[in-house]
Amino acid sequence: MKARITVMLKNGVLDPQGRAIAHALHSLGFESVDEVRQGKIIEVELASADEAAARKELDDMCRKLLANTVIENYQVELLS
Amino acid sequence: MNSVVVVFPGSNCDRDVAVTLANVTGVKPQMVWHGETDLPRADLIVLPGGFSYGDYLRSGAMAAHSPILRAVKKEAERGVHVLGICNGFQILTETGLLPGALMRNASLHYICREVGLKVERADTAFTNAYSAGEQITIPIAHKDGAYFAAEDEIDRIEGEGQVVLRYRALESNGEGGNPNGSRRDIAGIIDKPGRIMGLMPHPERAADAATGGIDGRRVFESLTRALH
């Protein structure tokens, strides 16, 4: 089973990297850009075949290591 | 005072802090590698600056889950004092031993320069050789040093008197006081019982007049006084 985890800074947490990307897009002429937020994607391959168990385990991984829940939100998506 | 310095792959201030500890306390600290699962008995554990595990995932995140950190937590629960400098502070927040998080500097730049600091509390084991309100100068060297916590959490931290150091403009160079976008100019905090402290500035780099200032030396003198 394969999972894709998206980790993003929480709303309200300043994202200076996103702001720098927005600034770069503006200077390239993409004037319609309002705001950019950036984050990271982590793909995990699991030996587990049970979807519910996998979701529970992935959630545990996110809370313990993959995301810092003081500043970040995460979203887990099962791909196969 | 007996001390231990934890060494991670990527630590680069471990020897600086060891030299300072040896000079100030007269006792060489024991250096303990990250893969160890036990710590020798000591009065103080130092998590030094650097880039533990290459700062992969987030600064301090991998180190926070290394075997030695389980031992550090256990010792901290027994009442041993813990000092986290720079990357060490990031590790302490990642483990949850200190509240909040250290985020990318607002400028996105790695900043290495002297900063002005205000000592908010001089009644801790880490700062008793300073006076409250004193202005000192210590260098910073980091890219992820912007202190963040939710507004209500920061109110709580302030209310509990856990802010020990705040950035304050150096009169000499006229630069802004807050170098990295830290909430409420926070540069160093302590846990509620007053035994675990984390700070982004490097006191061990300002502990010998021959190598640029001595304003950081009193952190180690304070600990020697408190923990002898």
pLDDT of residue B216: 98
- What is the secondary structure of A39-71 as a DSSP string? EEEEEEE-S---HHHHHHHHHHHIIIII--TTT
The distance of A77 to chain B (nearest Cα, Å) reads 19
- Smallest Cα–Cα separation from B134: which of B24, B198, B209, B219? B219
pTM assigned to the model: 0.94
- Position B168, amino acid: R
From chain B, pick out residues whose CB is under 8 angstroms from the CB of A64: 65
d(CA B183, CA A12): 13
Domain that holds residue A57: 2-78
Contacts of A50 (CB under 8 A, 6+ apart): none
pLDDT of residue B169: 87
Nearest CA in chain A to B105: A16
Nearest CA in chain B to A40: B57
Q: Please check whether residue B59 touches A, CB under 8 A.
A: no
Q: ipTM for the complex? A: 0.87
Mean pLDDT of B30-51: 96
**Which CATH number is B190's domain given?**
3.40.50.880
Pairing of strands B163-167, B186-190: antiparallel
Partner residue opposite B65 with nearest CB, options A65, A68, A70: A65
Summarize pLDDT for B162-205 with one digit per residue, the tens.
999 999 987 665 556 899 999 999 999 999 999 999 999 999 99
Q: Which of residues 60-119 of B touch A (CB under 8 A)?
A: 61, 65, 93-94, 99-101, 103-108
pLDDT of residue A49: 84
- Using the beta-carbon criterion (under 8 Å), do A13 and B108 form an inter-chain contact? no
Summarize pLDDT for A3-48 with one digit per residue, the tens.
999 999 999 898 999 999 999 999 999 999 999 999 999 999 999 8
- Position B32, amino acid: V
Name the domain count of chain A.
Answer: 1
> H helices of chain B, where?
14-25, 67-78, 87-95, 151-159, 217-227
d(CA B107, CA B180): 7
Contacts of B73 (CB under 8 A, 6+ apart): B95, B97
- Using the beta-carbon criterion (under 8 Å), do B106 and A14 form an inter-chain contact? yes
Percentage of residues in chain B having pLDDT higher than 90: 94
Domain that holds residue B97: 3-227
Nearest CA in chain A to B62: A65
- Using the beta-carbon criterion (under 8 Å), do B100 and A17 form an inter-chain contact? no
- Smallest Cα–Cα separation from B127: which of B224, B18, B48? B224
- Using the beta-carbon criterion (under 8 Å), do A16 and B181 form an inter-chain contact? yes
- Using the beta-carbon criterion (under 8 Å), do A68 and B94 form an inter-chain contact? yes
Run of H or E including B197: strand B196-199
Active site residues of B: 86, 202, 204
On the CB side of B18, how many CA atoms lie within 13 Å of its CA? 14
d(CA B114, CA A60): 41
- Smallest Cα–Cα separation from B8: which of B62, B44, B85, B76? B62
The distance of B166 to chain A (nearest Cα, Å) reads 20
> What average pLDDT does chain B have?
95
pLDDT of residue A80: 80
Name the domain count of chain B.
Answer: 1
